[in-house]
Structure 1
Amino acid sequence: MVDPGWARLASEERFASAWFTVWRDRARRPDGSVTDYDHVVAPAAVTVLAADGAGLVAVTRQWIYVHRERQWRLPAGRVESSENVDEAARRELREETGISAESWTALGVINCADSLTNHRDHAFLATGLTGGTQRLDAGEADLEVHWMPFARVVDLVLGGEMPHAGSSFAVLAAKVKGLLE
């Protein structure tokens, strides 16, 4: 990929946690001007659209602390440093819903907040589902799994009731690609 003229002149870590790191870069823009550019470096995430043979989709509902509300979303979570995105998708689906899947289809990748972070969400369609037991962590204690017709999930996205970027992207990608009806 050709650099369009941006250049990092210096970089300073401003804050680090187990979840993300905040950096301040001194950068030269393509026009030659110099600026400070603050940004968040975060691990990748996965989102799973799990659909059973009857056209029902596993949808979660839980309190999302930073948004201060309960939200509809698909099973999702971060990619741990020890795993690839495929492994993370399988793990997140099992942990949040107890479900395992025979077939996996990559739906694509979405950048979640380009001017703020490098965070990317990898979306998958999971089919050939087998039930099991959830393994929720303390932050997910209120997570509920609901089964909804795919058309209802599309309506949640289009109505703004499923604002999670990875979830909305996965649902719309599956719809546009004709993978689910």
Structure 2
Amino acid sequence: MVGEWAGRGWEQLTSEVRFTSGWFEVRRDEARRPDGSVGPYDHVRAPSAVTVLALADDSQVAVTRQWIYTHGEPQWRLPAGRIDDRDSCPEEAARRELAEETGVVARKWSTLGAINCADSLTNHRDHAFLATGLTFGEHSLEPGESDLELHWFPVDELFGMTLDGQLPHAGSTFAVLSAKARGLL
């Protein structure tokens, strides 16, 4: 990885893992900046994630509400989760997360794009999908999701919540706005 930014004005001189867990790692790099100065660059490397906009035939969208520990409050968000090592691609992770959190299986999947989350802090990237042709079943929540509630909102209400800042999760906001801009909602 050393030198991967060469030719773009940045050069990574060294990279040291300062902390690692099953969720992320914290690194301190020594980097040469475009102006020639050298200094530390601390950042977090984390696996990518997925967010699913699950749209039912009656124009209702699956929305979860759950306590978000890092923000210290409950939040509305679309079904979402990280891409695990067992997932062969982002869409496979999206299918798994949607089924786990909602019990919903979708017949049709469309890619809405991806968004970088907190660029200066982390490499974390969220891949967004539109899921339609829904079949409803039982969810299979993980231990940390026992407080997750599933709600269904009309498309227009969800769009309003997004514009009002009531859907602060970056992947969720991106998915709603991307689908709306493409005429899919």
The interval holding the TM-score normalised by the smaller chain is: over 0.9
Structure 1 runs (4+) greater than 3 angstroms displaced = none
Match of 2:32 in 1: 28
Match of 2:120 in 1: 115
Check if 1:69 corresponds to 2:94.
Answer: no
For the aligned residue pairs, the C-alpha RMSD in angstroms reads 1.1
Matched to 1:162, the amino acid is L
Q: CA deviation at 1:138?
A: 1.1
Which of 84, 96, 99 is the equivalent residue of 1:94? Answer: 99
Aligned-partner Cα distance in 2 for 1:30–1:61? 43
Matched to 2:150, the amino acid is V
Alignment of 1:43-54 (within 5 A): 43-54=47-58
Match of 1:158 in 2: 163
Which of 146, 150, 169 is the equivalent residue of 2:151? Answer: 146
Which of 161, 166, 169 is the equivalent residue of 2:174? Answer: 169
Check if 1:55 corresponds to 2:59.
Answer: yes
CA contact (8 A) 2:114 2:126 kept: yes
Q: CA deviation at 1:82?
A: 2.2
Matched to 1:130, the amino acid is T
Matched to 1:149, the amino acid is P
The TM-score with structure 2 as length reference comes to 0.95
| Residue 3 to residue 166, structure 1, CA distance change in 2 (3 Å) | farther
Q: Encode CA deviations 1:71-90: one digit per residue, 9 max, x unaligned.
A: 00000000001211011000
Matched to 2:160, the amino acid is D
Runs of 5+ consecutive residues of structure 2 not aligned to the other structure = none
Q: CA deviation at 1:4?
A: 1.6
Aligned-partner Cα distance in 2 for 1:161–1:87? 28
Aligned-partner Cα distance in 2 for 1:54–1:81? 35
Aligned-partner Cα distance in 2 for 1:107–1:122? 8
Q: CA deviation at 1:31?
A: 1.0
Q: CA deviation at 1:64?
A: 0.5
What is the percentage of aligned positions where both structures have the same residue? Answer: 63
| Residue 8 to residue 99, structure 1, CA distance change in 2 (3 Å) | same
Aligned-partner Cα distance in 1 for 2:62–2:40? 43
For this pair of structures, how many residues does the alignment match? 180
Matched to 2:29, the amino acid is D
